[in-house]
């Protein structure tokens, strides 16, 4: 593992040096990929923004995560039994790099040194997504809407190293991300404000504890 790993530079080199990738431009609202068939596909956002969305059998929507420039996502991070429920959708016009996990370990016909470098740095490339999944599991273990809100606010505060931060979601999407009812979430948020736990100014939240 390279302690000096620079993800942004690495992805730039990946784009320029590997011939086993595809790059596509995706318009806002279009599906980037769906996890319907097992392709071991991995996607990297060159620019843009993508939501990973799950629909249950009743059509209820949950936002699994939101991805931005240089973020990595794909089927390899999720069990096969969820494949028919997950869709990656562009929140804005985006440019996406596609490759498959299997090709990483296939012999490169060009015997390029970068292919070896890619394999050596695979864990670093995936690290952010592994952390993201662990944080999501932590959120979903919270038993009620209040605990989910406070836990998520703590995560955002720690990642920004500030008491005041901007939510990455609008409030409808935030409810979908936390897997809670929007009306109940807004009532709970108002209680947190009234009780002096937080302040809210549009999408900006300030922790008072």
User: d(Cα 130, Cα 93) in Å, to the nearest integer?
Assistant: 25
Contact between 40 and 99 under an 8 Å Cβ cutoff? The reply is no
Q: Are residues 47 and 24 in the same domain?
A: yes
- What is the average per-residue pLDDT within 72-77? 84
Torsion 191-203-50-133 (CA) sign: negative
Identify the pLDDT of residue 140.
Answer: 87
Residue 202 structural domain: 142-207
Distance CA 95, CA 45 (A): 6
Do both 117 and 67 map to the same domain?
yes
* Residue 178 to residue 181: CA distance in whole angstroms: 9
pLDDT tops 50 at residue 83: no
Assigned domain for 134 exists: no
Region 74-83 average pLDDT = 68
Residue length of the chain: 209
Residues 149 and 123 reside in one and the same domain: no
Q: Are residues 108 and 149 in the same domain?
A: no
DSSP 29: T
User: Given a cut of 90, is residue 198 above it in pLDDT?
Assistant: yes
Q: Are residues 102 and 31 in the same domain?
A: yes
107 — pLDDT class (breaks 50, 70, 90):
low
Q: For the residues 27-51, what does the mean pLDDT come to? A: 89
Instruction: Select the more confidently predicted residue: 116 or 50.
Output: 50
Q: What span, in angstroms and rounded, lies between the C-alpha atoms of 48 and 68? A: 6
Domain tally, the chain: 2
Last residue of a domain, one of 67, 92, 127: 127
Cβ partners under 8 Å of residue 119, min gap 6:
104, 105
- Is the predicted pLDDT of residue 68 greater than 60, yes or no? yes
In this structure, are 113 and 17 located in the same domain? yes
- Look over the chain and give the mean of its residue pLDDT values, rounded to a whole number: 87
* pLDDT value at 82 more than 60: no
Provide the H-helix boundaries in the chain. Answer: 7-17, 101-104, 113-120, 122-140, 145-160, 171-178, 182-194
Name every residue whose Cβ is closer than 8 Å to that of residue 97 and which is 6 or more positions away in sequence.
11, 14, 15, 21, 22, 23, 43, 44, 45, 46
Structure confidence at residue 77 as a pLDDT band (50, 70, 90): confident
Residue 133 lies in a domain: no
């Amino acid at each position: 593992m390279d302690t000096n790993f620079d993800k942004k530079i690495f992805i730039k080199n990946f784009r320029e040096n590997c011939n086993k990738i595809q790059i596509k431009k995706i318009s806002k609202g279009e599906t980037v990929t769906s996890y319907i068939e097992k392709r071991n596909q991995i996607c990297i956002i060159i620019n843009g923004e993508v939501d990973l969305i799950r629909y249950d059998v009743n059509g209820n929507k949950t936002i699994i995560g939101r991805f931005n420039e240089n973020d990595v996502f794909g089927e390899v991070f999720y069990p096969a039994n969820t494949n028919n429920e997950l869709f990656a959708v562009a929140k804005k016009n985006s440019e996406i790099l596609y490759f498959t996990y299997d090709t990483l370990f296939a012999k490169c016909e060009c015997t390029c040194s970068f292919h070896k470098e890619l394999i050596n740095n695979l864990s670093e490339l995936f690290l952010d997504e592994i952390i993201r999944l662990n944080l999501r599991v932590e959120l979903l273990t919270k038993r009620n809407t209040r605990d989910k809100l406070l836990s998520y606010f703590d995560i955002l505060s720690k990642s920004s190293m500030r008491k005041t931060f901007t939510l990455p979601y609008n409030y409808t999407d935030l409810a979908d991300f936390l897997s809670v009812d929007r009306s109940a979430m807004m009532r709970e948020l108002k209680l947190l404000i009234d009780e002096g736990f937080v302040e809210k100014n549009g999408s900006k939240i300030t922790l008072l504890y």
